[in-house]
Chain A
Amino acid sequence: MLDLAKTRWHPIAAGYDLPLRHVFHGQLLGREFAVWRADDGYVNIWENRCLHRGVRLSIGINDGRELKCQYHGWRYSNRTAGCTYIPAHPADAPARTITNRTFAAVERYGLVWSAEEPQGEVPEIPGLAEGELLALRGIPVNAPADVVAARLKGYRFQPNAALDGKDAKVAVEASNDFTVALRAVEGGAATLAAFFVQPVDSNRSVIRGVLDGKVEGAARLAVLRHHNELLSALRVAVEAEAAHKPAPAPLEPVIERVSPELAEMPEETKHGRKATIRVQVARKWPAADGIAGFELRPIKGLLPTFQPGAHIDVHLPNGLIRQYSITNGPGESDSYVIGVKLERDSKGGSTCLHETVREGDVLAISEPRNNFPLRRDAVQTLFIAGGIGITPLLAMAQALKNQSLAHELHYFAQNEAQLAFPEKTSTLGASLKPHLGLSPDQTGAMLREILSGYGPDKHVYLCGPGPMLEAARHIAAEMGWPETAVHFEYFKNTNVIDDSTSFEVALARSCMTLTVPAGKTILEVMRDAGIDMPSSCEQGACGTCLATVIEGEPDHQDVYLNDAERKSGTKIMTCVSRAKSARLVLDL
């Protein structure tokens, strides 16, 4: 009985229960739900517990894009329920395993439907036309659903157009354990009423009624009150009956552990760069002069949760792999939007995207990776973008804007036509500060102005062309910004890589010692030996293939690590960096 009930669709709320910025407390077959509608209209039905301390998310805050737990402020994204931010770990991107359990949601007949293990469709009631309905007030009843449904077969009511009458003939048109459809007829007036009994728990139900035909104004209120009165009386009778019987034990829902696919290590492949997701180019448009915008929608299912600053690998039809930052604001989880600048000296990546890839094309992409995480505990955050460097910073600025956290986005470009994604930047209001057509000297002066006045708990995030980043980092250091407050992301590594050395790498946890010859990278040698290692840009810019150094002196050739990290000698980018010592011991 319970197993069957779990496969059926049941209403768990009415449409009016989900106003914007509210979290509804639902329950089905003993399992509690936090139900909330995002500002984009999407209905989220989630397990009602924060993955951190188990506090009910139904007391959380729906900010229109994310749900925030009241207890320690963990934030979960619209659609995916993936955690996007943990205030106690402001410098880290949450692990992908922190994803709450979600349940199917369908809106039909003015009600919101769900099922634990849905099979088939939401029940079809002939005569109920979508949009031409009146949803009644839901009536909670302390009695089992089948008892309530049985009692509803004897429910007597008047048709909408004959409320004052007393003699309506009421016939059962259809019924099962959870549904009763009745038609009341008096004279020429007839009304079809469908009652869906939501099994909240073994001894609790909600009667959710829907009438055919729209009624307006005072008549509508009269109809609602007519049924509310009759159903309340029915509730009293059912509860009195149920009170005579021993109450069945409450259902005990199984709280699932993290799904196996999330909990397991990603599967090993020879090729270290995995593109497990297929997306379709839903839209391609000129996002600015020389910049193409791409909206990538999943072929099936939902896209994984992203955090501001995250990037994806895009596998291009010509075999190249390129990294692009996700520009989306929080909760915009139905597609990823990226911006691609046509590079004059393109090696084929941006040319391919600009000239070959069209709307409707299918591309392979990797899961989003965040090596450029955004802290949200700063008293003020500065974003400094040069040209296409706007993309990760745009996602970050939207996240801070959504939480009303102080920030400024300084956007350097040649001219107004080169400012990308105006439809997104315009939502930032006064925090957007464009700086147009400045010479390198003028840019330096402006950076000095922006970076003057360092104070504790201020952070700056930089992304742009190499020379501008170098200048900004230099000025920040001069102005007293500590390295821990200066975060940056390079597009590419323009260092000339010296791969002429040969050395030994010991992998402490794998119990292997490998020799890295001249001309090969640590990453390549490890992969040849069957060691799987994630990577993305493979040129020392993105931070994905970072390893911890236990012993030995690294020869840093990347642009990901900052000076303090380099000096500490405890981290290495295995795709480009090498060893100055004869031997390196890595924690792998």
Chain B
Amino acid sequence: MAIALVLILLVAGSLLFHFFSPWWFTPIASNWQMMDETVNITFWVTGIVFVAVNLFMAYAIFRYRHRRGQRAEYEPENKKLEWWLTAVTTLGVVAMLTPGLFVWAKFIDVPRDATVVEAVGQQWNWSYRFPGNDGTLGATSARLINRDNPFGIDPGDAKGRDDVLVFSPELHLPVGKPVKLLLRSKDVTHDFTVPQFRVKMDLVPGTVTFMWFTPTKTGSYDVLCEELCGVAHFAMRGRVVVDEEPVFQAWLARQPTFSQSPVPAAGDAAAGQAAFAPCAACHGAKGEGNPSLNAPKLSGQERWYLARQLTNFKHGIRGAADQDTYGKQMAAFASTLDAAAIENVVAYIETLPDEQAKPALEGNAERGRSLYATCAACHGEAGEGVWSTHAPRLARMSDWYLARQLRNFRQGVRGGHPQDFPGAQMAFMAKALREQSINDLVAYINSLR
């Protein structure tokens, strides 16, 4: 008896939940209104069946519950009824399938005038490529991918030279124009998803997949990876900013083309030595770091990382938060350097001898080892730093500094700037760490060589 009542309550509750729960589609920002409509049709058809079957069942349980002297009927089958039910079900299936296939036909038929954009996924970030003036993307190969050519564009292919490269996970698109997104992965399977656009598609290494949509509303939208791609899957975020055409064009014009892109000029270590003098005051003449002045060790750090941090400090992407006292100090110094000087300084730092920083913290390295499994995914098994994941070297660096930065990331002091994508990623990871585990982790990193 109770079960009949509960079934009725569950049906009623589900309906109430359906109509009153605050969780529903995000407001749509693309042309795929039809997808929402197909979902709605499906909800109506299945909802009616759900209510009908369960209420009928509840009634049957109530009506035919066991009472003294009751006896069931003997009723092996009822062909007519069964065929009727089959026919009605088939009708319902057709009602759902037909619009579904109709919309699918539209989805796989890309409009001719669609702008072609390539989205490139890798563990665990996004970058993008526009075809440039010739309207054609240059050939690429996984074999050509390296630090200086992260897109793997074939330098011999003339079509690739004018390709516009977007090194940031933030993509701008013009409103109201259909976009054909070509999807390419460098390592594992990813999936490009913007919930507001409704459509999504996997990026499959070894092949190029596609999808298309027309952004219909200006604004900024999160890009999520929705195909499990490893430890930092949940932190693989990007952003699509939909602009009015002129704003978009202005943004596009600021992005480098492939032929301009191997910018990181070698940097002049000799010139850098002079520029390093103010740095040496705190960080030490050999860049060995000085805990009493809150200056971390620099020598031995990857130069692309140092250059990025200096640039971030300079542009207020790092060291701008109120609680970041030492970061603010650094930002003041960084603002004195121009882009060329930054390259020179990091070139000089690269020449400095790399001596192990003196451990300042104690912790349980054995416990730290298991925690480090997550860190290793980006920073490498030996904490050596990995350019492709934007992860700096950790081994042999100042442990007290690592601990402080972990705390900064956890507390939102660092990594909160909207342009600091690697920082945001690190903040995700640092939040997974408990305060009391930080010393254990750093103790383990101290043991790496």
Question: Do the two chains belong together in a single complex?
Answer: no
